[in-house]
Amino acid sequence: MVSLEVQLKVNETERNQILERIDEGNGKRKISCEGCNQDHRIGDIEAIQTHWYVWPSGCTEGDYWNEGELQFICPETEIINRLLFSTSYDNLGRSIDNPELQFNDMYKRLFKGVEDTYTKETRGEWRNNYYVDSNRKMFGLTDYVPSKFGIRIGEIRLRGDTEFLKVVSRSVKGSESD
Ligand SMILES: [Zn+2]
């Protein structure tokens, strides 16, 4: 009779082995590149984790950095691919079943390397890349859940329309204070 402690250890070991195999498979997944129109394996490409600055607010909260979008560098052309998602937000501005966070959780550590940057400018030439967002099922990510107000960040980014941005940010602020 094997003790419960030993059984637990065996289960943990098996679990870790399975997780490793999942990571191995995920690292081989390919993303279509906007820089060279070819597919690159996640394990073969360098990523960039961007950050954005949050100013201090109120009298207690200090400033800090939030993680922004993940990008990858085309190994053929060095063109930056911004991995963008049309994430939906609920009426409190919180993300629901956020596929971008899911992707970062599952895949970020599997890139060849991840460089952290803290500048506003995207380095060099860049393209928007919605490949992962358009193939969420393939990457094991949640599918789009319509938000109450239908705000989709990807649309805002795509439009790049400042008037539209103002309207959206106003409606987000308005709903937060309700
Ligand atoms: Zn490429």
Angle at 58 between CA 55 and CA 61, to 5 degrees: 65
Task: Give the 3-state secondary structure of residue 153.
Answer: helix
CA-to-CA distance for 110 and 104, rounded, in angstroms?
10
Helices (H) and strands (E) in the chain, counts: 5, 7
Ligand 1 centroid to residue 36 C-alpha, Å: 4
With a cut of 80, say whether residue 126 has pLDDT above it: yes
CA of 9 to the centre of ligand 1 (A): 43
Residue 90 CA to ligand 1 center (angstroms) comes to 35
Cα 69 to ligand 1 centroid, rounded to whole Å:
18
Domain spans of the chain, in order of start? 31-177
Query: 66 CA to middle of ligand 1, Å?
Result: 27
Helix (H, G, I), strand (E, B) or coil at 24: helix
The answer to whether 87 touches 102, Cβ cutoff 8 Å, is no
| 156 CA → ligand 1 middle, Å | 25
How far, in Å, from the CA of 82 to the mean position of ligand 1?
12
Structure tokens at 15: 């679990």
Number of neighbouring beta carbons within 10 Å of residue 94: 10
> What's the CA-to-centroid distance between 112 and ligand 1, angstroms?
14
- What phi and psi, each to the nearest 5 degrees, are found at residue 109? -70, -10
Under a CB-based contact definition with an 8 Å cutoff, are residues 120 and 69 in contact? no
Question: pLDDT tens across 113-124, in order?
Answer: 999 999 878 778
CA of 78 from ligand 1 middle (Å) equals 8
The 10s digit of each residue's pLDDT in 48-98 is 999 988 888 777 778 888 888 999 999 999 999 999 987 655 444 455 567
- Band of residue 41 on the pLDDT scale cut at 50, 70, 90: very high
Strands laid side by side in the 46-54 sheet: 113-117, 46-54, 64-73, 80-83, 126-129
Between CA 107 and CA 117 the distance in angstroms is 18
Write out the E strands in 42-162: 46-54, 64-73, 80-83, 113-117, 126-129
71 alpha carbon to ligand 1 midpoint, in Å? Answer: 12
Residue 54's SS3 state is: strand
**Dist. CA 99 → ligand 1 center (Å):** 23
How large is the average pLDDT for residues 162-170?
A: 45
Distances (CA, A) of 143 to 45, 59, 97, 148, 161: 25, 39, 8, 16, 26
| Protein residues with C-beta less than 5 angstroms from the ion ligand 1 | 33, 35-36, 74, 76
**The pLDDT value given to residue 155:** 42
pLDDT per position as a tens digit, 129-152: 999 999 988 999 876 554 444 444
